[in-house]
Amino acid sequence: MTEAHRCRSCCATIGEVVLDLGEQPASDYFPPAADPGPDPSYPLQMWLCAACGLAQLLVDPTVPEEPRATEPAALVDQAADAVGRVAAAGWLPAGGRAAEYGSPHGGSWLDLLAERGLTVVGDGAEADVVLDCFGLMHSPDQAAALAERAARVAPGGVLLLQFHSLGTIVRLGQWNSLRHGHYAYYSTAALGRMLASAGFAARQAWRFDLYGGTILLAATRAEDGAPGPDTSVTALEAEEAALGVEDPARVRRLQDSTVSRAEALHRWLVDQRAGGARVLGYGAASRAVALLCRAGVDRTLLPAVADASPAKQGRRMPATDIPVVAPGELVAARPDAVALFLPDLLPELRATLPEVEADGARWVDVEALGATPV
Ligand SMILES: [Zn+2]
């Protein structure tokens, strides 16, 4: 019997595994194409805390690799949208100080905040606006990471937290959002409890389409005498509660989704090949790694996955023999269809790779194949 897992936020040991993807390669380890493997793999499981409701990575024996991804236009566009909405709501005081905890995946708001008249402060300094943009989930110790951010908020200041919501993951069956290096998967209610432990309270929430549903939460120190959460927060909590984000039985449906979506992808690729259609992939992201592994896809079904990141080209998808190629090679191959692993990229790809559709190919959202929304 191994030692019980302690919640990364509240330290409780009561909870259960709600999603078990078995042994998976590290999602950011792209071996050179000539490396025959086998690639090292590690257990990948989501645990749901019965005390505070935080969904989290059970163990992470992997070592983070250097980020290799390029920053998608969708992330840049969403940042501008979010800053506009937060400013309109009065949360960005002119002349105030701003600090950011960013993500290794990009999407910094600092330039946008500077344009709004805020002064960006450095590591550790107090700020009137402390922003975490997909950063917090990368910390193994969630309580310590949130406390660090909260401590930097100046009296009367605001803490802004942006996250891909567990409600979205459950609603859309996004089981392949689970990956090594991402330690927490927040519902609005669970994050609210974490904030309360840090002496903060959620005040306002905004929702964005990014990743199928991204939430931005504004929180202030409870002692600042805030009026409490507005309806944007309570409505979101009610919606997520109805989805069952704190009910292990409901979250465990993600396990069923692993089977249905993997089978659907495999079947679709087999059907395409049988019909003589040539399919290539786009988006060498962690979500694609998990899905291709689960679906048992190799290069006979998917001869290549294109990606704009030069650091991934010349490598292969982990635990498969599928090479990662430059977008130009995808265009030159004139496929009949392109399996898109990152649906947020579609508008950008239509604009930057118009040849794909001009040559008669179609973009196919693999997230939608076999999805069983609840
Ligand atoms: Zn907990």
More confident residue, 322 or 228: 322
Cα 159 to Cα 37: distance, rounded to the nearest angstrom: 44
Question: How far away, in angstroms, is 155 Cα from ligand 1 center?
Answer: 28
Residue 53's nearest CA partner among 186, 215, 237, 235 is 186
Question: How far away, in angstroms, is 59 Cα from ligand 1 center?
Answer: 15
Residue 217's nearest CA partner among 199, 192, 198, 197 is 192
Question: How far away, in angstroms, is 164 Cα from ligand 1 center?
Answer: 18
Q: HSE, CB side, 13 Å, CA atoms: give it for residue 267.
A: 8
Q: Is the pLDDT of residue 373 over 50?
A: no
Q: Residue 2: what pLDDT?
A: 61
Q: What percent of the chain has pLDDT over 70?
A: 96
Task: Report the pLDDT averaged over residues 279-302.
Answer: 93
Q: Residue 107: what pLDDT?
A: 80
Interaxial angle between packed helices 231-243 and 188-197, expressed in degrees from 0 to 180 and rounded to the nearest 10:
120
- Cα angle 186, 190, 194; round to 5: 105
Question: How far away, in angstroms, is 49 Cα from ligand 1 center?
Answer: 5
Quick: pLDDT tens for 216-275. 999 999 887 777 789 999 999 999 999 999 999 999 999 999 999 999 999 999 999 999
Q: Residue 371: what pLDDT?
A: 61
CB atoms within 5 A of ion ligand 1 belong to 7, 9-10, 12, 49, 51-52, 54
Q: Is the pLDDT of residue 374 over 60?
A: no
Quick: pLDDT tens for 335-348. 999 999 999 999 99
Q: Is the pLDDT of residue 1 over 80?
A: no
Kindly indicate the confidence band of residue 112, based on its pLDDT and cuts at 50, 70 and 90. Answer: very high
Q: What percent of the chain has pLDDT over 90?
A: 79
Quick: pLDDT tens for 16-66. 999 999 988 887 788 998 898 888 888 999 999 999 999 999 988 876 665
Q: Is the pLDDT of residue 197 over 90?
A: yes
Question: How far away, in angstroms, is 248 Cα from ligand 1 center?
Answer: 13
Q: Residue 352: what pLDDT?
A: 95
Question: How far away, in angstroms, is 193 Cα from ligand 1 center?
Answer: 9
Contact (Cβ atoms closer than 8 angstroms) between residue 65 and residue 97: no
Question: How far away, in angstroms, is 55 Cα from ligand 1 center?
Answer: 8
Question: How far away, in angstroms, is 277 Cα from ligand 1 center?
Answer: 48
pTM, to two decimals: 0.91
Q: What is the mean pLDDT of the chain?
A: 92
Distances (CA, A) of 204 to 60, 72, 216, 294: 33, 27, 8, 38
Question: How far away, in angstroms, is 334 Cα from ligand 1 center?
Answer: 50
Cα 336 to Cα 282: distance, rounded to the nearest angstrom: 13
Beta strand pairing status for 337-340 and 279-282? parallel
Quick: pLDDT tens for 156-185. 999 999 999 999 999 999 999 999 989 999
- Residue 87 φ/ψ, nearest 5 degrees: -65, -45
Cα 304 to Cα 133: distance, rounded to the nearest angstrom: 32
